Amino acid sequence: MKEFGSYDYIIVGGGTAGCVLANRLSQDPSSSVLLLEAGGKDNWIWIHIPVGYLYCIGNPRTDWCYRTQGEAGLGGRNILYARGRVLGGSSSINAMIYMRGQARDYDEWARLCGDESWSWERVLPVFKRSEDHWRGGDAFHGSGGELRVEQQRLRWDILDRFAEAAEQAGIPPTADFNTGDNNGSGKFEVTQRRGIRWNAVKAFLRPVIKRPNLRIVTDVLVDKLSFEGTRATGVEFLLGGERMRARSRKEAVLAAGSIGSPAILQRSGIGDAGKLAELGIAPVHHLPGVGANLQDHLQLRAIYQVEGIRSLNLLANSKFGQMLMGLEYAWRRGGPLSMAPSQLGIFTRSDPTQPTPNLEYHVQPLSLDKFGDPLHRFPAFTASVCALRPSSRGHVRIVSREPADAPRISPCYLSTEEDRRIAADALKLTRRIAAMPALAPYKPREHLPGPQYQTDEELALAAGLVGTTIFHPVGTCRMGAEADDGAVVDTRLRVRGIGGLRVADASIMPTITSGNTNAPTLMIAERAAGMMVGDR
């Protein structure tokens, strides 16, 4: 094994969390920082043109291209489980939606973990610190931070009509989803700057890339951690076919995401000792919560064919339309090439007993059979709806000692009666909105899942047939109180029973946030960096 040097801090993973950590930890010129990323540089054009997510997701150049196990709740299907494998991580391939969730999410974290520092009141300033919001600074938004948040640069009549239909169905409009109360319908805000994706590399890494105390290494396959007793002292990885070891003088921090971080811990001997022994891995510390508690948002894609109103389908299937879209983007960085996958968002309750919105809609002026397929040749919109607080819990487990072997991913979607009931209610609500007068002139006809599904049982079955991930896996190294035997990290994100090691990414969430997960991941990394500097 070849020695790769010693550093004060080693960061594993150059995604959203890793970029934030690299920026913050290298601010002190006396601290040396090594950032290790499995993917390459973010220098491909389709990373930066917003609609390029279509070419990045499912592409091994930028995506790990994981697949789930066959899911009983999805009719036995296995599905693509995209995770960014490039500098910027999933911020380089995601939907660019800036969404914090609800105040109750963080207050629940504080309650579960017994630590008020994770409450909404305490994390809101952390969100604001890194934000450069198009409205400027106010009680809920920051100005001058690294992460640019803007309005989208196009509109669609069909989405405006859907928002009107939602209001007729009792869902009011809202001007801001990020105040801690995201009830209502409105346009998603995005992490873009003037029509170009503003990923974590542009925001946090590029401005500091020339710091002499920061070293960034790409195309690195991290295998495991090295130890002295139960203290992490470095990271072992493969680079250019050679096995290397870098040593951490102060701390190593895993920021490899909800799939990568638990897999690295398990290969390192931290996890369920019995399951690790079956793979021939000597346990370093028995921590059965590693890889457990996987939570994700399952989106149910309802597609409606329409008449007499424009959608992206016909435009994208026309050579003339493609030329117009290219010209509009080249001329003013606007139009369909600047669009996030979803423009209209809706947060509402599946039934009146829910204390806060438990459903999120991503409404799109397009339709396709499945991700990666061409758009349909008829005008249509898609109203994808997901349950924000699923009760189903899955897991991530390695299948061998080899770092190149993808772990087994089992989200266990729709495995509880509560989740199946809410899924059926969500599809019924979608039908109610589609039947409102605002959409009547366009004669919406249900293309997917189809009008043959009517009873609650049939709709729960339909949910499994049309459901797919919206790429929000969290919780597999969850944070918890001292008495919580299933917790992997404490409230300062230190791995239990191990010295010199933290986890700082979406895997530490005790429960999933009520919305998209990129902004909360950034906040977690901000807090982790502050804790590491403070503890030093």
CB-based contacts of 264: which residues, under 8 Å, 6+ apart?
12, 222, 223, 224, 225, 254, 256
CA atoms within 13 A on the CB side of 453: 23
The distance in angstroms from the start CA to the end CA of the chain is 30
Q: Which residues pair with 448 in a beta bridge?
A: 303
Rounded CA separation 125/255 (Å)? 22
Say if CB 40 and CB 17 are below 8 A apart.
no
Enter the tokens of residue 117.
């520092």
The size of the chain, in residues, is 536
Largest Cα–Cα distance of the chain, in whole Å? Answer: 70
Rounded CA separation 499/403 (Å)? 23
Rounded CA separation 418/377 (Å)? 37
Q: Which amino acid makes up residue 206?
A: R
Say if CB 335 and CB 156 are below 8 A apart.
no
Residue 68 DSSP code:
P
CA angle 392-397-401, nearest 5°? Answer: 175
CB-based contacts of 453: which residues, under 8 Å, 6+ apart?
427, 459, 461, 462
| Pairing mode, strands 285-286 and 344-348 | unpaired
Which residues have a catalytic role annotated?
472
